[in-house]
Amino acid sequence: MNTTTTAKTAVAPAHVSIGDVARAQRWRKVGMALLGWAVALLIFFPIFWMIITGFKTETDAVADPTLIFSPTLESYAAVQGRADYLKFALNSVAVSFGSTLLALLIAIPSAYAMAFLPTKRTKGTLLWMLSTKMLPSVGVLVPIYLIFRDVGLLDTRTGLIIVYTLMNLPIVVWMLYTFFKDLPKDILEAGRMDGAGTLQEVWYLLLPLTLPGIASTGLLSVILSWNEAFWSLNLTTSNAAPLTAYIASFSSPEGLFWAKLSAASTMAIAPILIFGWLTQKQMVRGLTFGAVK
């Protein structure tokens, strides 16, 4: 077995011309591109289906799936007539960006400490932080609800920002920690030789050098907060209700609602989709940051 394989590989180059190699490479490229497209389409299909369902009538939406129908805006009109989209959208923006900023403010110093000044308990602390993500949210719903009731944070954006910050903090710290760790210590040391203090070191060296990483961490945190539904549904009523609560109000146990729900969902994901598209470069750069360097 082994000998034949070796023989074949050894023999092959002699028969293969440069043109063959180029052709094979081209086919491989085409194949990979096709595979990439297939995976992308597969992932995008539910979103695509939601978007077109939003333009159907309620009866078309539950009829046999088809791509041929006469598009209508009636669901969008109905959705807009029943709830103030802008109010919910502004809450979503405030809460997801607010919590991300707060999380970064807390996480950057702590990730710095863990990456550059590790102690023997650093690993344990990191794991412990991650373990808090393993508790199902509903398990702490009642205590948090009671605390929020007593300090007057129910149905406030501040309350949601606090909860989201705490929720995303472990992930944000972990991501920043890995980015910071990849940074050669020599660079910071050189800075220190030139007389930079800790703050200057962070501000002039660490942050600019790891900016793609910080940006992608921030983006992830924004997206996670934007999509979070459990806490936003349970801790808000009307004043601070974000878009997840907006979507939830169009699902119904009685009567047809798929078209309206799809229209509402499309409107709810539109801002973050556009935002994600605009910042795509940062995202990809950040996510592949360690490997490219």
Partner 1 sequence: MNHSLPSLTHLAGKPFWRRPATSQVFLAGIASLGAMAAQAETITVATVNNNDMIIMQGLTQEFEKAHPDITLDWVVLEENVLRQRMTTDIATQGGQFDVMTIGTYEVPIWGERGWLEPLENLPEEYQVDDLIKPVRDGLSHEDTLYALPFYAESSMMYYRKDLFEQAGIEVPEQPTWEQVRGWAEQLNDPDNDMAGICLRGKPGWGENMAFLSTLVNTYGGRWFDMDWNPEINSEAWKEAISFYVDLMQNYGPPGATSNGFNENLALFSRGNCAIWVDATSAAGRLYDANASEVAEQLGFAPAPVAETPKGSHWLWSWSLAIPASSEHKEAAQTFITWATSQDYVKLVGETKGWTSVPPGTRESTYENPAYQEAAPFASFVLDAIRNADPNDSTLEPNPYVGVQFVAIPEFQAIGTQVGQMIAAALAGDMPVEQALDQVQGATERNMKRAGYIK
Residues lying near partner 1 in the complex (CB under 8 A) are found at 59, 62-63, 82-83, 141-142, 145-146, 149-156, 233-234, 237-238, 241, 245, 248-257
**Smallest separation, CB 143 to partner 1 (Å):** 10
**Smallest separation, CB 239 to partner 1 (Å):** 8
For residues 200 and 249, which CB has a smaller minimum distance to partner 1 in the complex? 249
Tell how many helices (H) and how many strands (E) occur in the chain.
17, 0
| Count of beta carbons in the 10 Å neighbourhood of residue 155 | 15
For residues 221 and 244, which CB has a smaller minimum distance to partner 1 in the complex? 244
Sign of CA dihedral 271, 273, 275, 278: negative
**Smallest separation, CB 234 to partner 1 (Å):** 6
For residues 119 and 238, which CB has a smaller minimum distance to partner 1 in the complex? 238
DSSP letter assigned to residue 140: G
For residues 119 and 252, which CB has a smaller minimum distance to partner 1 in the complex? 252
User: Nearest CA to 88 among 205, 254, 229, 198?
Assistant: 229
Q: Would you list the DSSP string of 188-228?
A: HHHHHHTT--HHHIIIIIIHHHTHHHHHHHHHHHHHHHHH-
- The amino acid sitting at 167 is M
**Smallest separation, CB 268 to partner 1 (Å):** 15
Residue 92 · residue 271 · CB < 8 Å: yes
**Smallest separation, CB 236 to partner 1 (Å):** 9
**Smallest separation, CB 45 to partner 1 (Å):** 21
For residues 97 and 230, which CB has a smaller minimum distance to partner 1 in the complex? 230
Q: Beta strands of 128-276 (E only): which ranges?
A: none
**Smallest separation, CB 88 to partner 1 (Å):** 12
For residues 98 and 170, which CB has a smaller minimum distance to partner 1 in the complex? 98
| Count of beta carbons in the 10 Å neighbourhood of residue 255 | 6
Dist CA 102 CA 227 (whole Å): 18
For residues 201 and 228, which CB has a smaller minimum distance to partner 1 in the complex? 228
Residue 84 · residue 238 · CB < 8 Å: no
For residues 217 and 265, which CB has a smaller minimum distance to partner 1 in the complex? 265
Q: How many CA atoms lie within 13 A of 217 on its CB side?
A: 31
Dist CA 290 CA 183 (whole Å): 9
**Smallest separation, CB 255 to partner 1 (Å):** 6
Dist CA 49 CA 38 (whole Å): 16
| Count of beta carbons in the 10 Å neighbourhood of residue 177 | 21
